[in-house]
Structures are given as C-alpha cells and as structure tokens.
Structure 1
Amino acid sequence: MKNWMRANKGFIMFLMLFGLFRTAVADWNPIPSGSMHPNLLEGDVVFVNRLAYDLKVPLTDVVVTHLGEPQRGDIVTFSSPKDKTRLIKRVIALPGDTISMRDDQLTINGKPASYSMPADALEAIANVGQLQAVQLTESAGGSERRIQLLPQVASAKRDFPAMQVPAGQYLMLGDNRNNSVDSRYIGLVPRELLIGRAERVLVSADIQGNWLPRTERFGMALGD
C-alpha cells in the first residue's frame, strides 16, 4: 500500500484538491425531482457557486466570512433543517420580510403577488399519472419567475398565515408549488445551511424518456 501511495501521490493529491474545490468553491447538483418545474427538469445538472454567499471551512457549515447576500428569486442549494438532505429551491422571503400565502397567492410585505401569462401543461406524478397543470408568471417582492400549479392536488399546502422571517433565516419555495417539499414542510432555512447559488444548467438529459441529451438546455442561465 505504501509503495502504491508513493507511486500515485500526484493523483491522490489531485483527488484531495478536487474534493476541497467541490466543497468550498464550486459544485454541481443533479436535479432528481420535479419540484422546480417548469424551470428545472429532472436530468438537469446545475452549476452551483459555493462562494456566492459565504466562505466556509471545507466539509463543514462553519462560516469564515460573508461574501454576498441572498436575494429574492435566487435558486439555491441548501441542507434541509429537518434531516440535512440536500435540496434546491428558490429564495422567496428574506430576513425581516413578512410573508403569507392564501389559495396559492403570495403576499410579501403587504403587497400581493401578481400572476399573468397562464398556460396549460401536463405533470407526471408517480403512482398517479398525468395531471393537468397551470403555468404562470409570478411577480412578487421585486422578482419574477415562472411557476406551476396543480389544481387537482388536494393535499398541497396552499395557505399559511402571515409571519415575519427572523434574522439569519430564509423562506424557500419550489417553483412547482403543489409538488414541492419546501419551507411549508421543513421550516425556514438558517443561513449557515445554504450551500450556494445555482447559476446555470451545465448539461441535461431526458432521464424520464429516452436519455437523449437536451442540448438546448446546455449552458442555460438560471435567473428570475
């Protein structure tokens, strides 16, 4: 073993440095579910900038220094405060914001969100089948994005009372509002659990179909 390690010390050093790079500087994140439809699809692999908000001690949640501030509309990866599972959602409310939801409509700091450009779509739900979906452009809190609603899903949390987001915490929602495990289920997300900002799709493949590459999504920038 010692002889092997000496013979391959350059390769071993490369792996160690690469691992540190992924845990401290930049990373990639495969999209495993439909919780961010219609903006992120199963089979997308997104580039995550780990230095967008904080410099952390590698392999830990210990913040060395703040480098930037999360903004409403950012797509972020983070560790779930419930079970530490890595999730990817959108920042909807910032520390100090007052937010509520009623019948899927957000209100942020007393201003109801507006919704426009409705379009029909289909959503495949495991063990259920194809459901009719509605896609809308949501404008709320100074940011705008495309979202999706599933009117037939009776168990979705379409309402929550007004609450003020405490300092150092963030409210996250999936763009696929009625098919997303987000802050309505896992609670607010402390800043130290943020991993980074998802900035673009690196590559994409149709993993639910024929596994062909979706070249039109390669390099696609992510934003509101």
Structure 2
Amino acid sequence: MDFDFSAILLGLTVLFGVVWGLDRLLLYRRRKARLDAAGAEYRDPVPVDWARSLFPVVFVVLLLRSFVAEPFRIPSGSMMPTLDVGDFILVNKFAYGLRLPAFNTKFLDLGEPKRGDVVVFRFPGYLCRDASGKLTRVGGDENGPPRLGPGDRCPADALPVQSQNWIKRVIGLPGDTIEVRDSQIVINGKAVPSDELGPYVGNPQRAEDAELLYYGASIWTEHLPGADGKTVNHLVARMPARMSTNAIPNELVPSKVPQGCYLVMGDDRENSLDSRWWGCLPEKNLAGKAFLIWFSWRGLHTGFVDWKRIGTLIH
C-alpha cells in the first residue's frame, strides 16, 4: 500500500485553491468589466472554471480521508484470517488524534492505541546496526529486509520506506515487558491464552489459502489482555511447519517496549514481517485504527465477491 493518495489530494487542493483564489483577487474584476462593456456573456476561463468546480469537492474528500475515515485495500495475507487479501477496509483517522494530511504530524491528541487494536501505519523501515554499532532504521518492504553487505549489518545508503502503509495488531504497549517464542506470547509475565478451533479451511485455487493449506495451518482464538480488564478475542493462524520466527527479545528488539513505541504482529503468525523482524512501531507513524470491511474481492476465478465479509467489524 505505497500509493500516497493523501499527498496527491493535498497537492490538488492547494493547486485548485491557488488558481481560483488568485484569479478572484487579481483578474476576475478586470475580465468581467471588459466583457460587460462588450456586452458579452461572462464565463470563467477553462482552467479557472475547473479549479472553481473541483476545489470544494477535492477539499471535502481530503478532510474526510484525513480526519474521519480512509479506505485501504489489504494486499497481503499477513493478517489472515482476520483480514484477507482483497478486503477493502475503513480506518478511523481520529482514534489516535488528528494528523496533518500527507505529513502525518499530530496536532490534536485524542487517544493512544490499546492492546489488540488493528492499526494502519507508515512502515518505519528496518531497525539494524551500522558499522559503529549504532541502531538506525533502514529501508525494506514486505518482500523482506534489505540485503546486507559482507561483514556489515546495516547498509549505509539505505533509507526508510516512509510512504508504505502497513497493517498489524498491537501486542505490546509502551512499558510492557514482552516475550515471544514462536506463537506463544508472554505479556508482563503472563502467558496469553489461546484455544485451537481446528484446521484452516480455504480455497486451494487462491495462493494465500494454498500456502496455509500446504503447511497444515490451524486456526486459534487468542485472548489478548486489553484495556480496563477486558479481553480482546481474535483469530490467528499458526503454521509452525512453514518457518521459525524471530523471538522477542532479540538483538534489535528489547523485551521492554520503549516509550513512544508499540510492538505489532500479524495474525498470520508465521507469515508476517512485523516487530519481531524490524523493531517497534514509533507512535508518530500511526495512521489510524481499522474498524470495518466494506468490500471484499476474491478475484475473477476464485469467487468474485465475498459477500459474507462485507460489513464485518474488525476486532
């Protein structure tokens, strides 16, 4: 999800507003007087007419997407079975405070993430060490971390990927002590309980389902300790035969979550590049809280629209 539509909307809003505003301030009166004197019907020039017509539309869309709700499409299976590839979701943009569009700078604090929230965020890059041993963030994407040179643990010329939007579940809050061993999570000394529901059932013609079926995935209900003593019950997929995952703590991820950061994980536990691999999620990178699946597309050859998922609240 690396298409920054908010930046485009902001740019168009500024462009249309400047064209329309400057015309009204500098050119409109003289042009109208000239046409009135000639007895001609007044019409704005085409660029001005387009700017005048489109500015309020683009401005309203920008406000809604930036401060109310923004749509996203799920591109990968890292959040299965909660969110599937092809799900179109809505994200609450004011759950964690209001942020400037495109820049993502918070100017009004309205709350912070709670354990168990499904959050959309700007991918902060991978956390690694340079030749001097200093921790720094470097680029990468959902295909894996950046390639490191021989004897080097951090490429000097790599840059963070700030434009990509990722989605994961909040597992650790600032100040929490977290331990992760494969699918077992321990939060502040207490193991997170879970119940096995049975084997994963899916369509083998879909690549995402085929992988889970091939590795004998099972579905579990995980009971995360949430806010105010409440428990967040949600589904996770486990397929330990696929690969071993990074444990927490590790060389780059401490057991105690730093202030201003969150540990996040995907619900498809063996198929998610998350905090176990690239470190904590800085608070400044948060974009909002996912809350609704409003459409779900399965593809031309694998069922078209998944009607039963439409309208599903995200937990």
So what's the TM-score if we normalise by structure 1?
0.90
**1:59-208 alignment, distance < 5 Å:** 59-82=102-125, 83-84=161-162, 85-121=164-200, 124=207, 130-142=214-226, 143-157=232-246, 159-161=247-249, 163-207=255-299
- Matched residue type, 1:43: G
Per-residue CA distance 1:101-142 (angstroms, 9 max, x = gap): 123200000001112133101574599783310111112324
Q: Is the 8 A contact 2:89 2:293 kept in 1?
A: yes
Per-residue CA distance 1:148-171 (angstroms, 9 max, x = gap): 1112112433x2226111111111
Give the structure with higher Rg (CA).
2
C-alpha separation in 2, matches of 1:74 and 1:127: 28
Higher helix share: 2
Per-residue CA distance 1:63-116 (angstroms, 9 max, x = gap): 112112211111110011102221011011111110011232000000011121
Q: Residue 113 of structure 2: SS of its match in structure 1? A: coil
Higher strand share: 1
C-alpha separation in 2, matches of 1:126 and 1:116: 21
Q: Is the 8 A contact 2:182 2:244 kept in 1?
A: no
C-alpha separation in 2, matches of 1:201 and 1:126: 19
Where does the alignment leave 5 or more consecutive residues of structure 1 unmatched?
Answer: none
C-alpha separation in 2, matches of 1:20 and 1:56: 11
So what's the TM-score if we normalise by structure 2?
0.65
Q: Residue 23 of structure 1: SS of its match in structure 2? A: helix
Match of 2:80 in 1: 37
- Matched residue type, 2:285: L
Match of 2:48 in 1: 6
C-alpha separation in 2, matches of 1:11 and 1:27: 20
C-alpha separation in 1, matches of 2:301 and 2:76: 14
Q: Residue 235 of structure 2: SS of its match in structure 1? A: strand
- Matched residue type, 2:272: S
- C-alpha RMSD over aligned residues: 2.3
Return the structure number with greater relative CO, CA threshold 8 A, min gap 6. 1
Per-residue CA distance 1:181-204 (angstroms, 9 max, x = gap): 111122111111100000110111
C-alpha separation in 1, matches of 2:47 and 2:307: 40
C-alpha separation in 2, matches of 1:119 and 1:208: 29
